Amino acid sequence: MRVMSENPDYTSTQTTEPRMLSGADMLVEVLRKEQVEVVFGYPGGAVLPLYDALYECGIRHVLARHEQGAIHAAEGYARVTGKPGVVIATSGPGATNLVTGLADAMLDSLPIVAITGQVAKSVIGSDAFQETSIIGISTPITKHNYQIQHASELPGVFKEAFHIANTGRKGPVLVDIPKDVAGEVAPFVYNAPPQLPGYQPTVIPHVMQIKKVLQHIELSHRPVILAGAGVLHAGASRELRLFAERFGIPVVHTLLGLGGFPADHPLFLGMGGMHGSAAANTALYETDLLLNFGARFDDRLTGNLADFAPTATVVHVDIDPAEIGKNVPTDIPVVGDAREAISLLLATEAKSPEISGWREKLLDIKAHTPFWYVQEGNVIKPQRLIEQIAQHTNGEAIVVTDVGQHQMWAAQFYPFVHANRWVTSGGLGTMGFGLPAAIGAQIAEPNRQVVAVVGDAGFQMTLEELAVVAELELPVKIVIVNNGALGMVRQWQELFYEERYSSSLMKWQPDYLKLAEAYGIPSLQIRDDGALPECLSAFLAAPGPGLLECLVAPMENVYPMIAPGHGLHQMVGVKP
Amino acid sequence: MNRVISVSVNNKAGVLNRITALFMRKGFNIQNLTVGVTETPGLSRITIVMNETDDAALEQVIKQLYKQIDVLKVTDLTQQPMVARELALIQVNSPVAQRSVITTIIEPFRASVIDVGRDTITVEATGKAEKIDALIALLRPYGIKELARTGLTALARDVAMVTEARRVSEGNVISI
């Protein structure tokens, strides 16, 4: 019997002989079948056959200036579109330059398909030119990886790779292709769904668990929703808002979850954790029912585990069962997709809890302890810089950051009202992430304003990617928050190492304006607060790329803060 | 306490490395590990003995094992009726005059002599680890020249009775 399916991939009953293709041509066909629009990469000896096949194939290739830039760009693309980012690197140094990005994508659950070249099969293991065991190197930092032994395996492997990267808990998958495999000719068959008995993610949660959750909601007095990036990966923003409104439960976001729930919503308490809001952390500390949707209880969120939600019944919804109970003991585990779980919660009859007192208390804290800074003279406060960026972009921009103080200020002071417009490196905290990720985000959303907020230190790690911005005339607006230091390192040294600023101050810096000029990117520098609004307005409105160097107050610290080893109730610097 | 974990995996290059890398990452020492094919073509069984008393840590190991694409089933045999065996080959000094003494020693262990040299014999013993320990202790005074132990391999008794760690249990989460 012929089975008809709507998916064109599976319909073709093979009446004619399958086409014979080389491994390299198969790769192009695979990218077409997976509807890959853009590939980020850098060529080299072992991938020359692949690059030859890519030449004039119609799939866009973005030439990064370093493989790390290529994979961070793919991450930015994946974060904004929700589709897998594809990156190609050559063997040896090309492959090892992907390592940081693979680890970053692994910790932040971003779907990435990384394709690496490998030396020919006949010399694998002989320490051949540009050979490394990238399979061995990448095993702990990928969701899965493959080395193809024969071109006939290639279609099946890629079918699995895209499937694994983009389902369940998303993550990076690496496919290593020996150079001679790219030249081998084999039949190309790309219509079988992957057979992976060892990989069957649970998407639909268990209905009994959902009922238990609802029972606890009805009886709760101090419930709070903790929403993580799982909400964004599942596309569950709408469901989350409906759920919070239906039961009147306040919402706390993790760093990576920002934008999943609108920041201007009356039930939003802000970001929780080390540099989170007082309202959010009070809610997490005092709650009696913690509803975790797609957050993994990272230690930057929980603080000291002994003091995390000490009196709460913990509900943990996660598509990855290994996250449940890993850090925080869970009372009601719900394995499944956040959207499916919240939809089921919404579909069932349940009374809203009577929690107006709790809600009012938290909203009162929110109203009385907003994130703060003290304006001093005419110096630019980085917090005000972020506020001004938010104002001049109407809160509509895609904000990409690097890692450090500016990242925390962006999270605190930019109101994210839409999903998938916040691109940052959360789990790995990768300095150098910002600029290349912004490139990927801008390529994904050519018509949306992309602002890359970077620190002077992180920017210097991947600034070679300015060439990509210039070459493609990407209208990325790069804002360097220059405090002349590795700001967060300096802050910790100030607070915990008796102000011994060991190697954290940038005693020498390049002339960023000349650097921008060298890359053909318009630039300006600003140091006076008074000129900030006008300057930002013109900078953001100008067409094409731009670089703005802001010389900000160098000793400014990120507050509030929970010192390492302390609990969520032990915040310091809540008020000026 | 020694835990015995049985892991069904795809018989593919690199899979054993993925499994042991997980233990390395979590900082658990593997006491011993055996691998061999199973009744199903393409599947291998890895039997891992580890010394770990923390239930939460063990649960995490099992869940992480399940996250591996090449892992099909993980069973914690520790709390279950199981049959567990180990093979040892013991080459022991054995001048002709002493040979009959040694044969008498190994007989109650149902061990057998599988090689005879001029000055040594090689004994093969199969059984529980404690039995092999006991045999080795008895043979040691005669001078053990070389010793090889395979480590434990195990199966649950009466497969139908086994409650194995499952992907989805009633509680919608992996239980062990």
User: Is A445 tagged catalytic?
Assistant: no
* A417 — pLDDT class (breaks 50, 70, 90): very high
Residue A60, SS3 per DSSP:
strand
- Compute the distance between CA of residue A88 and CA of residue A69 in angstroms, rounded to an integer: 11
- Compute the distance between CA of residue A101 and CA of residue B20 in angstroms, rounded to an integer: 24
| C-beta atoms of A322 and B64 within 8 A | yes
What is residue A313's predicted lDDT score, i.e. its pLDDT?
98
- Indicate whether A420 and A542 sit together in one domain: yes
- Indicate whether A231 and A326 sit together in one domain: yes
A549: distance to nearest CA of chain B, Å?
42
* A192 — pLDDT class (breaks 50, 70, 90): confident
Q: Is residue A85 part of a domain?
A: yes
Q: Is residue A90 part of a domain?
A: yes
- Indicate whether A177 and A242 sit together in one domain: no
B103-162 residues touching A, CB cutoff 8 A: none
B27 touches chain A (CB under 8 A): no
pLDDT of residue B168 exceeding 80: no
Q: Which residues of A touch B172 (CB under 8 A)?
A: 202, 205-206, 208-209, 333-336
- Indicate whether A89 and A16 sit together in one domain: yes
- Indicate whether A37 and A179 sit together in one domain: yes
Q: Which of A368, A395, A411 is the last residue of a domain?
A: A368
Domain carrying residue A516: 382-551
Q: Is residue A280 part of a domain?
A: yes
- Indicate whether A338 and A413 sit together in one domain: no
Q: Is residue A278 part of a domain?
A: yes
Residue B55, SS3 per DSSP:
helix
- Compute the distance between CA of residue A291 and CA of residue A303 in angstroms, rounded to an integer: 18
| C-beta atoms of B14 and A205 within 8 A | no
B17, B67, B168 member nearest A335 (Cβ) = B168
pLDDT tens for A524-553 read 999 999 999 999 999 999 999 999 999 999
Tell me what the mean pLDDT of segment B122-145 comes to: 96
- Indicate whether A168 and A217 sit together in one domain: no
Q: Is residue A321 part of a domain?
A: yes
- Indicate whether A182 and A212 sit together in one domain: no
Token look-up 């930002």 returns A536
Q: Which of A153, A188, A223 is the last residue of a domain?
A: A188
Q: Is residue A20 part of a domain?
A: yes
Backbone angles phi, psi at B158, to 5 degrees: 40, 85
- Indicate whether A134 and A239 sit together in one domain: no
A198, A202, A326 member nearest B72 (Cβ) = A198
Q: Which residues of A touch B9 (CB under 8 A)?
A: 198
* B57 — pLDDT class (breaks 50, 70, 90): confident
Q: Give counts: helices (H), strands (E), chain A.
A: 24, 20
What is residue A14's predicted lDDT score, i.e. its pLDDT?
52
pLDDT tens for A311-344 read 999 999 999 999 999 999 999 999 999 999 999 9
Q: How many Cβ contacts (< 8 angstroms) between chains A and B?
A: 64
- Compute the distance between CA of residue A61 and CA of residue A27 in angstroms, rounded to an integer: 14
Distance of CA A262 to the CA centre of its chain: 18
| Closest to A234 measured CA to CA, from A296, A314, A171, A170 | A170
Q: Is residue A202 part of a domain?
A: no
SS3 content of chain B, % helix, strand, coil (to 5): 30, 40, 30
A552: distance to nearest CA of chain B, Å?
41
What is the overall mean pLDDT for chain A? 96
Tell me what the mean pLDDT of segment A200-213 comes to: 96
Tell me what the mean pLDDT of segment B71-99 comes to: 93
What is residue A5's predicted lDDT score, i.e. its pLDDT?
42
CATH number at residue A514: 3.40.50.970
Q: Is residue A194 part of a domain?
A: no
What is residue A48's predicted lDDT score, i.e. its pLDDT?
98
- Indicate whether A398 and A269 sit together in one domain: no
Q: Strands of B71-76's sheet, edge to edge?
A: B30-37, B43-51, B2-10, B71-76
The residue in chain B having the minimum alpha-carbon distance to the alpha carbon of residue A324 is: B173
CATH number at residue A279: 3.40.50.1220
Q: Which of A321, A337, A368 is the last residue of a domain?
A: A368
User: Is A179 tagged catalytic?
Assistant: yes
- Indicate whether A136 and A159 sit together in one domain: yes
pLDDT tens for A459-478 read 999 999 999 999 999 999 99
Say how many domains are in chain A. 3
Best probe of the B interface among A124, A138, A199, A323, by most B CBs < 10 A, is A199
**Overall pTM surpassing 0.90 (yes/no):** yes
Annotated catalytic residue within A29, A34, A67, A75: A67
- Indicate whether A453 and A326 sit together in one domain: no
